Amino acid sequence: MRTGTSKADAGQGRGHSSPFFRRNPVLFIILLGVLLLVSALVSVLVGTLGPIGPGHPERISFSQAVDALFGGGGDMYVTVFWELRIPRVLLAGLVGASLACAGTAMQAVFRNPMADPFIIGVSSGAAVGASSAGLLGLTALVGVAAPALAFVCALATVMVVYKMGTVGGRVYVDTLLLSGVALAAFLGAVVSFLIYFAGEDYHQLIPWLLGSLAAARWSYVAMIAVPAVAGTVTVLLFGRELNALLLGEETAHNLGADPEFLKKIMLMTAALMTAGAVAFCGIIGFVGLIVPHMMRIVVGADHRKLIPAATLFGASFLIWADALSRTVIQGEELPVGIITALCGGPFFLYLLRRSRGTGVMS
């Protein structure tokens, strides 16, 4: 999309020429798409049984790997690639995209660049669900029961937070934010309590609490794909209105957008996307917070460019993080949430320092 007026650019004497990708956002988004495809392909090849990654006695070559991708080279390879690796990479992409897109939407609804997808209590609610599943004897990370319970508890928590923040049909985002924080603290205590009594089952819960893609399977991919795709499309359709919302609810109203409807549909969509991601993969922090930030630096704040950029880059980001989690320690697998937090924390601090000069968190 080009909105540039040549006169405006010519009249700018202060060397305030906008960065290349800000003037060519479509090109940037296409590049992000290419990056995502390449990342997915590379990530499939990364791992203990793959041509890339730490040494292993049964390391295979590229040609063997490509062969296996097309069903050759024996049952074990087919299983590794088609039953484990490919669903896992797809899951990483969908979860990363969901978190980044939901994070962008939340930051717009709360008009606060510090907001993340978990701000309205999704993660704390899901944690209660997942840990009580352990206590109820439902094996935490196998099957559908535990994710289902996590999903339901996540949405129930969001409903409570939403009710607390809504007075007379109006959503008050400040109240919503504080309710989210308060409820998260309360539910954190509930989770601690449940873990205390979980005994041995506690160990099964750790990967979930730290965020992990290890349980990936095709059924998960299918179930997450629905909220991920539908949610992203929904958020995209409201790009213009989200822009207006960032200048205040009254301004949004005066520009013909309905801020109440907008807040409700965005909260609902982001909650569903996040709950889906959390239910299957646990609490993967920082993706939803920093990916929108990084993309804003490149394409600016306009949601019609920001949402596709953040969604695509969020997918790539989590795919890399997952590839790293599989390879960084030989023979071990780190929960991916540790990787995202290890990368995300320092990067976030860097952003904070960077924004001090301008007072703008971008």
Partner 1 sequence: MKLEVSNLSYSFYGRKVLREISFEIGEGEFLGLMGPNGSGKTTLLRCLTRYLPEATRAILVDMKPLHTLSDREVASTFAVVPQSSSTDFPFTVKDVVLMGRIPHIRSRIASTSRKDIEVVSAAMEVTGCASFADRPFSELSGGERQRVVIARALAQAPKALLLDEPTVYLDISGQLEMMDLVRRLNQEQSLTVLAVLHDINLAARYCDRIALLSQGSLEAIGPPEEVINSDTILNVYGVDVAVRKDPFTHDVFVMPRTVRSRASRDGMRVHVLCGGGSGGPVMRQLVDSGCSLSTGVLNVLDSDYECASDLQIPIVAEVPFAQISDEANDENLKRIDEASAVVVSRFPVGPGNFKNLEAAMYALDKGKRVMVMSGGGPPSIDFIGGKADAYIKRLVEAGATLVEDVEDLIRQLAGTEAVA
**344, 289 Cβ separation under 8 angstroms:** yes
If binding is defined by CB under 8 A, does position 360 make contact with partner 1?
yes
Phi-psi region of 121 (alpha: psi -120 to 50; beta: other; left: phi over 0): left
Interface segment toward partner 1; rule CB under 8 A; list 108-116, 138-146, 210-218, 315-323: 108-116
Nearer to partner 1, 19 or 71 (CB): 19
If binding is defined by CB under 8 A, does position 174 make contact with partner 1?
no
DSSP string, 6-48: HHHHHT-TT--PPPHHHH-HHHHHHHHHHHHHHHHHHHHHBST
DSSP string, 62-82: HHHHHHHHTT-S-HHHHIIII
Rounded to a whole number of angstroms, the minimum distance from the CB of residue 118 to partner 1 is 20
Report the site for partner 1 in 272-311 (rule: CB under 8 A).
296-297, 300-302, 304
Site string for partner 1, 8-27 (x = CB under 8 A): xx-xxx--xxx---------
Cα 180 from Cα 177, distance rounded (Å):
5
Give the distance from CA 330 to its chain's centroid.
27
If binding is defined by CB under 8 A, does position 111 make contact with partner 1?
yes
Q: At what angle do helices 145-164 and 259-281 cross, to 10 degrees?
A: 150
Cα 329 from Cα 308, distance rounded (Å):
33
If binding is defined by CB under 8 A, does position 1 make contact with partner 1?
yes
Site string for partner 1, 146-165 (x = CB under 8 A): --------------------
Site string for partner 1, 211-240 (x = CB under 8 A): --------------------------xx-x
Nearer to partner 1, 107 or 274 (CB): 107
Token digits of residue 49: 């049984």
The residues of the shown chain that bind partner 1, judged by CB under 8 A, are: 1-5, 7-9, 11-13, 16-18, 111-113, 237-238, 240-241, 243-244, 246-248, 250-251, 253-258, 296-297, 300-302, 304, 358-362
